[in-house]
Chain A
Amino acid sequence: MEAFSILAALTGDEAKAASAASSAGFAYGLAAIGPGIGIGYLVGKSVEAMARQPEAAGMVRTTMFLGIAFTEALALIGFVVFILIGL
């Protein structure tokens, strides 16, 4: 709560910089939730598939990396936004 009262007391450019920093943090934090769940689910399912059918492991691994690449993109866009507005 103290942080918020400090934020409220700032004026002008300082307030702008402070709100940019905190919203950058929020942006990246929110952007990380979805991909985190997604990659966890994806890799978990792939491990399950590889354990059930070890002979298909190579194919499952390739597809898993492709899926990770697409899922991860959202988190990375969040990271770019974090850099653009925060730093």
Chain B
Amino acid sequence: MLALEFPPINELLRWQDIFPTFNKVALIAVLATLVTSVTFLIAARQDGLKAPRGVRNLAETIVEFIEDQIIMPTMGKHGLGWTPFLLSLFMFIYLCNLPGILPFFQFPATARIAIPLFLSLLVWVIFIGVGFKHQGFSYLKNSLFPPGVPGPLYILVAPIEFISTFLVRPFSLTVRLFANMLAGHILLVTFALLTHELIQSDTIALKPVAILPFFMLLFLTAFEVLVGFLQAYIFTILAAVYIGGAAHPDH
């Protein structure tokens, strides 16, 4: 009846090279970088004293979002110096997620683990660096031996703190972004395939049924817009929390 066969995972993720060592994923990453830089460079050329318009309006909205929604609740006023880094992190991840639903791209670049892995290693290096810069070697002491724990329990607490701070953090940052985008992509592929197969089926009675997976596909596309934004937001806010926590230890 239906010749429905789900393609192997490699077929969903592997793209032919546009030219050697450069495929669609790389193209999306390069475009995300270019779009971000060009947008903010154009916005920066306008006179800041006049009322903002056009691109600058958009850029100011994004910067305000980063400052008010991400930095202020997690790092406070001291963290405002981190706006440029967190802004570029947010924009890059968001613009890598967005092509998952854009026609002709149809693939979120963050669904290949290399990009999330690199970004979270970057955040990892930065928050450890910030910790050593602000607290010196007592950063290790502060993060491995949190205050307020009865003495003998430190045998138990120190290894757990070490694993959760230095090993699990980059891992979970990577896997959260990667798996969310990959799952979204596979869901879209599943329902697109189902719609296609039902429309093409030989049985006439099955053709109208294709409307059901099609509506699911529409719904999931809208859902992916939300997920792409939310994952960029969560990645950035976690980076802010980690950096803020390394700069100022808990008392």
A65 to B69, CA, bound (A): 11
Chain A residues with CB below 8 A from B238, complex form: 66, 69
Chain B residues with CB below 8 A from A73, complex form: 172, 175-176
Q: B237 is contacted by which of A59, A62, A72, A79 (Cβ under 8 Å)?
A: A62
Leading 7 A-B pairs by shortest Cβ distance? A76-B179, A87-B9, A62-B73, A69-B234, A73-B172, A79-B179, A80-B179
Chain B residues with CB below 8 A from A72, complex form: 176
**How many interface contacts (CB-CB < 8 Å) are there between A and B?**
42
**A66-B237, A69-B238, A87-B9 known; A59 vs B176 contact (CB < 8 Å):** no
Question: Does any Cβ of A come within 8 Å of B183's Cβ?
Answer: yes
**Shortest beta-carbon distance, B106 to chain A, in Å?**
19
Question: Does any Cβ of A come within 8 Å of B180's Cβ?
Answer: yes
Question: Does any Cβ of A come within 8 Å of B94's Cβ?
Answer: no
Question: Does any Cβ of A come within 8 Å of B193's Cβ?
Answer: no
Q: B241 is contacted by which of A66, A68, A76, A80 (Cβ under 8 Å)?
A: A66
Question: Does any Cβ of B come within 8 Å of A77's Cβ?
Answer: yes
B230 closest partner in A (C-beta):
A65
User: Which one of A58, A68, A76 has the greatest number of beta carbons of chain B within 10 Å?
Assistant: A76
Chain B residues with CB below 8 A from A58, complex form: 69, 73
Question: Does any Cβ of A come within 8 Å of B127's Cβ?
Answer: no
State which size class the interface on A falls in: 10 to 19
Q: List 26 A-B contacts (CB under 8 A).
A: A58-B69, A62-B73, A65-B234, A66-B234, A66-B237, A66-B238, A66-B241, A69-B234, A69-B237, A69-B238, A72-B176, A73-B172, A73-B175, A73-B176, A76-B176, A76-B180, A76-B183, A77-B175, A77-B179, A79-B179, A80-B175, A80-B178, A83-B9, A83-B182, A87-B8, A87-B9
Question: Does any Cβ of A come within 8 Å of B165's Cβ?
Answer: no
Q: B74 is contacted by which of A62, A69, A76, A83 (Cβ under 8 Å)?
A: A62
State which size class the interface on B falls in: 10 to 19
Contact B233 A65 (CB under 8 A): yes
B70 closest partner in A (C-beta):
A62
A73 to B238, CA, bound (A): 13
A79 to B74, CA, bound (A): 29
B69 closest partner in A (C-beta):
A62
**Shortest beta-carbon distance, A1 to chain B, in Å?**
24
Contact B183 A79 (CB under 8 A): yes
Q: For chain B residues 58-88, which have a beta carbon within 8 Å of chain A?
A: 69, 73-74
**Shortest beta-carbon distance, A36 to chain B, in Å?**
14
**Shortest beta-carbon distance, A78 to chain B, in Å?**
9
Q: For chain A residues 47-87, which have a beta carbon within 8 Å of chain B?
A: 58-59, 62, 65-66, 68-70, 72-73, 76-77, 79-80, 83, 87
